Structure 1
Amino acid sequence: MTFQRARTPQQRSERRRQILDTTAQMLTETTIANLSLNELSRRTGLAKSNVLRYFESREAILFELLDAELQDWLTALEGSLDGVEGTPRQRGDRFARAVAQSLAERPVLCDLLSAQSAVLEHNVTPQVSYEHKHATLRSFRILAGLARRCLPELGAEDAFRLTGFISLAASATWPYIQPSRALTAAYPNDPVVAAMDVDFADVVSQAVAVSISGLLARGEDIPLGARPLATIDAEADPEQHAAAAPH
């Protein structure tokens, strides 16, 4: 196949999409750690130098793919959510299950989320990292809006905190459910070890449901990462806090 340089904005956009689609397909066959630019170049029919005309690094490609996967996931998730019938706990459990099941159906997204901080952020320029962080924030705000649609009792800050908990639950659980061959081989012979063979959707659903219950019960509505108000009050007046504590 003779290489033809993309000259128009439309051609460049199509070439970028080709690279992203090929990368997504490769991630269904191999891990992020084993995904190479050389193989990506071979599959797209582009020289490695030409791939790097469109993306500055392998990680930059994966970042853009993650952003696209998040958008696709949010669109699908929105369509799977039901109404606001039931108690807050019932609605919270349904929302948690919908989130977990929809993530379980998207292994490429889960793989990218689990590698986001530990791998992908370490070989990109500040500009690429900046653009990705803003794209992620936009996605999280959409997710927070979906959460409040199902759970209007959640404050805006608590809904955004929930998106952080969802991301942490998914990114931590995903590598855990993919054990080594040695551990998998031990499952049939050891019931104790076999108990560690858990279902991704079940674990994430439980984690998100408990997070929702906790946020609703505490009702703090504070920014993600902020210290709980009770902790701040205790530090401000430790004697009063000690006197109020049960003995």
Structure 2
Amino acid sequence: MEFQRARSEEQREQRRAAILTTASEMLTQMPVADISLNELSRRVGLAKSNVLRYFESREAVLLEVLDAQMGGWLTDLDEVSMAVEPDPADERAGQLASMIAATLRARPMLCDLLSAQAGVLERNVSTAVVLRHKRATLAVADEIARIVIRALPELDAEDALHVAAITILTAAASWPHSTPSEALKAAYEADPAIGKLLMSFDHIVTVTLTLTLTGLLAQRQGRGAEA
């Protein structure tokens, strides 16, 4: 695909959209670490210098893809979390934790981007790009908090934002550990003792969030008893 020079704002937006779409398509085929600006430019049909007219770096492109993926995940989570049953609070906490884990696991591109967010994607970008991304992240945290409080009204806004932060951090840390390289898979198979270290993404996220939610509930109940 070859583009002519963009001369209108509409054409420039079309170029930006094409770059983001191409980056997303590449992420369905390879991990974040293998995405290069040269290959992205080649696939989108623009010179690398022209891609840099629209995004200041590879990382800036991938941060926008991450923000879009987070929005899609929140839509999924909002829908499935409506099915949390009115059981005792501890059981609702487990249901919600399991739903969060399942909806995240269903979006491997999002999880891969989250795992690269702090150590890679937020490094080679300007303050303006980071500010835009972090504001989008804050909006995501607020939406997660809303969903948490809807399922567990026993918690307050501060508790719910804490859960939102733990959700993002746990997903980012769990994904690379639960998706080992071929060499690591072979090592796990070769030594059963080492193999015990491999944990599923769903298990790590569900257990971590269940413990976080039930701990916050217990803390809230304790404060109520003292009052």
Give the TM-score, by structure 1 length: 0.85
Map residues 16-95 of structure 1 onto 2, 5 A cutoff.
Answer: 16-81=16-81, 82-95=83-96
Query: Structure 1 unaligned runs (5+)?
Result: 221-247
Q: Tell me if structure 1 keeps the 8 A contact 2:2–2:46.
A: no
Q: Are the equivalent residues in 1 in contact too, given 2:145–2:160 (CA < 8 A)?
A: yes
Deviation digits for residues 126-179 of structure 1 (CA, Å, limit 9, x no counterpart): 111111111100111011101111111110010001001111111111111122
Distance 1:15 1:72 in 2: 22
2:5 equivalent in structure 1: 5
Q: Deviations over 1:157-203 (max 9, x none)?
A: 10001001111111111111122333211233322112122211121
Corresponding residue for residue 224 of structure 2: none
Match of 1:242 in 2: none
The DSSP-based 3-state class of the residue aligned with 1:116 is helix
Q: Partner of 1:172 in structure 2?
A: 173
> Which of the two has greater helix per residue?
2
In the alignment, residue 207 of structure 2 is paired with which amino acid? Q
Decide which moves more: 148-157 or 179-188: 179-188
> Could you say which residue in structure 2 is the equivalent of 1:202?
203
Task: Flag the structure with larger Rg.
Answer: 1
Aligned to 1:238: none
Q: Distance in 2 between matches of 1:65 and 1:182?
A: 29
Separation in structure 2 between the aligned mates of residue 10 and residue 3 of structure 1, nearest angstrom: 14
Distance, in Å, in 2 between the alignment partners of 1:188 and 1:200 is 18
Name the structure 1 match of 2:14: 14
SS at match of 2:34: coil
CA distance in 1, matches of 2:141, 2:134: 10
Deviation (angstroms), 1:28: 2.1
Percent identity between matched residues is 48
In 2, the alpha carbon distance for the partners of 1:178 and 1:65 equals 21
**Is the contact between residue 78 and residue 147 of structure 2 (CA under 8 Å) also seen in structure 1?**
yes
Partner of residue 183, structure 1 = 184
The one-letter amino acid of 2:36's match is S
SS in 2 for 1:3: coil
Structure 2, gaps ≥5 residues long:
222-227
> Which sits farther off after the overlay, 95-104 or 24-33?
24-33
Q: What are the Cα deviations for residues 81-104 of structure 1, in whole angstroms up to 9, with x where unaligned?
A: 114511111111111011000100
Secondary structure of 2:56's partner?
Answer: coil
Q: Displacement of 1:60 after TM fit?
A: 0.6
Other structure's SS at 2:32 match: coil
Match of 2:225 in 1: none
Contact 1:113 1:170 in 2 (8 A): yes
Equivalent AA in structure 2 for residue 77 of structure 1: L
Match for 2:203: what amino acid? Answer: D
- State whether residues 84 and 151 of structure 1, in contact with CA within 8 Å, keep that contact through their aligned partners in structure 2: no
Contact 1:56 1:124 in 2 (8 A): yes
Q: How many residues align?
A: 220
Q: Partners of 2:50 and 2:220 in 1: how far apart?
A: 52
* More moved, 8-17 vs 86-95: 8-17
Instruction: Tell me if the contact between 2:84 and 2:95 (Cα under 8 Å) persists in the aligned partners.
Output: no
Contact 2:111 2:172 in 1 (8 A): yes
TM-score normalised over the length of structure 2: 0.92
1:122 maps to 123
Secondary structure of 1:118's counterpart equals helix
**Runs of 4+ with >4 A deviation:** none
